[in-house]
Amino acid sequence: MAKKKPVMTVDGEIQISYKWSLGKAGERFFTELRDNKKIMGTRCRQCGRILVPPRIFCEECFVEDMEWVEVKPQGTLLTFGDSYFSTDGKRLKEPWMLGIVRLEGSNGGLIHFIGESSPEDLKIGMRMEAVFKKKPEGNIMDILYFRPLKD
Amino acid sequence: MPKKVAIVGVGMQKFEFCKNETVEEMIFDVTRNALENSRLSKDDIDAVVFGSAVDAFCGIHNSDKVAIDASAGLLKPTMRNSTSGSTAISTPILGYTHVASGLYDLVLVVCFEKMSENESAQAVFNTVYDEAFVRPIGLNVPIQCSLEAREYLNRYGLTERQMAKVSVKNRGNALSNPYAQLPMKLTVDDVLASPCLSWPVKLMDTAPVTDGARALILASEDVVRELDDDPVWVKGVGRGADSVWFMGRSNKALGRLDYAYLAAEQAYEMAGIRNPMADIDYAEVYDPFTYKEMQHCEALGLCPEGGAGRMIDEGISLKEGDLPVNASGGLQGEGNPIGAGMSRLCWCYLQVKGQAGACQVPKDVNTAVANGWGGMYQYNAVMVIGRD
């Protein structure tokens, strides 16, 4: 096949920093996570669903009738992924793992790193627990990762 | 009563990596091609709708403004639509509503995406996720799809081998498509041996990064007979959108696309289709990853729920099969310029018209269905087209 003529380009970049507000629900969630190592959800008083991540309204009942509840830092692995490529598409020697964990006592959960295990150790439906950072800062990385629950 | 709406022509161009044309030049190319194929000129077009998914791919924010001159839109009503990957079908649905409403007789729809010019398409994808809960974890599309595919295979007992067969079929079909980026003659073992991106998704289960555009022209029943004595009508449209909070929403079963089943039900009800397996002659379904073709065949009722593995095993979706799927090569073989996945609908049109060239399937095609998918396991859009 004939080699394609290189495309003539002009180079540039878009580099813009942001400060995103965490919002009414996010502020409470990340404050409790930072100060008390607690994972909080909001319970809809109409349908009883406990939302994690918490929100100030229930999208199904469409009401702002919520109360704050603590949920357990343990739950069920709904699914997981192990990837050999970094977020920006670079090849890795060792895979990194993400999972979605439904937290006990809630109808929701978190997507987070999976640690202290290899893909072969994991199974959909197994129980997991959160491992917290020693010096929390008020962001989602205050949970370092989830690991298989040790009895 | 909505007016009946027909597709009267499509505009095609080659899908490739690193096109030398600008976004504007790509749009001009497919617009001119669609006008020629419909025997129309710029001034005949009443209004234009554009679709593209994520501006950061091409690095031009509000990229719709680039499309105005090149899409016959100069000094006309124009509007941009964006629903992630489902832009591919929600944009022609927006065009359909423009005409069905009676406001316009001839509407041009153009979808485009230029994905090769950024440093990393996957780094762009990371910016579509929630900033506080998801983005810091470093999620990108291959691992997003790994989460979904693992749950899907586990739920229905499907296999990597069945996924691989979809890649072999679609890349093989693309050998007959002059616009295709990645035609390949592969074996199942080639696919299974290709580098694992994120289990169960291998490199050869994944559509490439692509630059490209597609256009089509929609006409109202009032003017279509002057243009085409055998019109291909838009028979049904449907859309579904689920919550972005996939970890909290009621349907957490990523393997079952409730929102896609809903979109299909709407489109089939409007089209009067009760049994899609019997009533649909041909399908082009959204297949950025091989398992997505399988999920979409199920949601569109082209096989029973959980039956997509059997569908590919039994050869039903092959070009010569009873219900061919993606005889063009799909996104796997033709390329995947996200919004320009409208190509799926363009190929349905070409199949119904008998103009699909070497991709034409060896059976009568009167009714065809196309879909688009996108977002955080969220959006689906479906369109059914066909003869009276």
CA distance B256 to B381: 16
Q: Kindly state the percentage of chain B with pLDDT values over 70.
A: 100
CB contacts of B252 in chain A (<8 Å) are: 78, 100, 102, 109
Q: What is the largest CA-CA distance in chain A?
A: 67
Short-list B113, B72, B69, CA closest to B91 = B113
pLDDT in tens, B39-72: 999 999 999 999 999 999 999 999 989 999 999 9
pLDDT band at B127 (very low <50, low <70, confident <90, very high): confident
CA distance B63 to B50: 10
Answer yes or no: do A52 and B247 touch at CB < 8 A.
yes
Answer yes or no: do A4 and B18 touch at CB < 8 A.
yes
pLDDT value of residue A91? 87
pLDDT value of residue A93? 87
pLDDT value of residue A1? 53
Answer yes or no: do B139 and A87 touch at CB < 8 A.
yes
pLDDT value of residue A2? 61
pLDDT value of residue A16? 92
Give B79's Cβ-side CA count (13 Å radius). Answer: 14
pLDDT in tens, B230-267: 999 999 999 999 999 998 888 888 999 999 999 999 99
Quote ipTM for the complex: 0.93
CA distance B349 to B334: 16
Q: Are strands A39-44 and B47-51 parallel, antiparallel or unpaired?
A: unpaired
Answer yes or no: do B137 and A98 touch at CB < 8 A.
yes
> What are the strands of the beta sheet with A66-71, ordered from one edge?
A50-51, A39-44, A66-71
Take residue B164 and report the two structure tokens written for it: 């691989």
pLDDT in tens, B289-336: 999 999 999 999 999 999 999 999 999 999 999 999 999 999 999 999
In whole angstroms, how far apart are CA B90 and each of A17, A20, A21, A125, B339? 32, 30, 31, 36, 9
- Please tell me the distance in Å from B105's CA to the nearest CA on chain A: 38
Q: What is the mean pLDDT of residues B180-187?
A: 98
Q: What is the mean pLDDT of residues B2-7?
A: 98
Residue reference for tokens 């409470």 = A28
CB contacts of A124 in chain B (<8 Å) are: 150-151, 154
Answer yes or no: do A139 and B121 touch at CB < 8 A.
no
The 3 state secondary structure assigned to chain A is CCCCCCCCCCCCCCCCCCCCCCHHHHHHHHHHHHHHCCEEEEEECCCCCEECCCCCCECCCCECCEEEEEECCEEEEEEEEEEEECCCCCEEEEEEEEEEEEECCCCCEEEEEECCCCHHHCCCCCEEEEEECCCCCCCHHHEEEEEECCC
Answer yes or no: do A52 and B126 touch at CB < 8 A.
no
Answer yes or no: do A102 and B247 touch at CB < 8 A.
yes
| Contact residues, chain B to chain A, C-beta under 8 Å | 18-20, 56, 59, 117, 119-123, 126, 131-134, 136-140, 142-144, 146-148, 150-151, 154, 195-199, 243, 245-250, 252, 254
Ordered domains of chain B (ranges, CATH): 5-118+210-227 (3.40.47.10)
pLDDT band at B1 (very low <50, low <70, confident <90, very high): confident
Q: Which of B130, B247, B377 to mutate to test the interface with A (most CBs of A within 10 A)?
A: B247
pLDDT in tens, B370-381: 999 999 899 999
Answer yes or no: do B120 and A82 touch at CB < 8 A.
no
In whole angstroms, how far apart are CA B205 and each of B184, B197, B335? 13, 9, 12
Inter-residue contact B154 to B255 (CB < 8 Å): yes
Give the nearest chain A residue to B120 (CA atoms): A88
Please state the separation of Cα B75 from the chain's center in Å. Answer: 29
pLDDT tens for chain A, 151 residues: list them: 566 778 899 999 988 999 999 999 999 999 999 999 999 999 999 999 999 999 999 999 999 999 999 999 999 999 999 998 888 888 888 889 999 999 999 999 999 999 999 999 999 999 999 999 999 999 999 999 999 998 7
- Please tell me the distance in Å from B45's CA to the nearest CA on chain A: 33
- For chain B, the C-alpha Rg in angstroms (whole number) is 19
CB contacts of B21 in chain A (<8 Å) are: none
The SS3 call for residue B292 is: helix
The DSSP H or E segment spanning B347 is: helix B343-353
Answer yes or no: do B147 and A80 touch at CB < 8 A.
yes
Encoded amino acid at B169, one letter? K
Neighbours of A5 (CB within 10 A): 7
Give the nearest chain B residue to A27 (CA atoms): B132
CA distance B200 to B160: 6
- Please tell me the distance in Å from A151's CA to the nearest CA on chain B: 25
Inter-residue contact B111 to B372 (CB < 8 Å): no
Average pLDDT score, chain B = 96
Q: Is the model's pTM score more than 0.90?
A: yes
Report DSSP letters for B135-202, one per residue.
GGGT--HHHHHHHHHHHHHHHHT--HHHHHHHHHHHHHHGGG-TT-S------HHHHHHSPEEETTEE
Residue reference for tokens 């937290």 = A103
- Please tell me the distance in Å from A65's CA to the nearest CA on chain B: 17
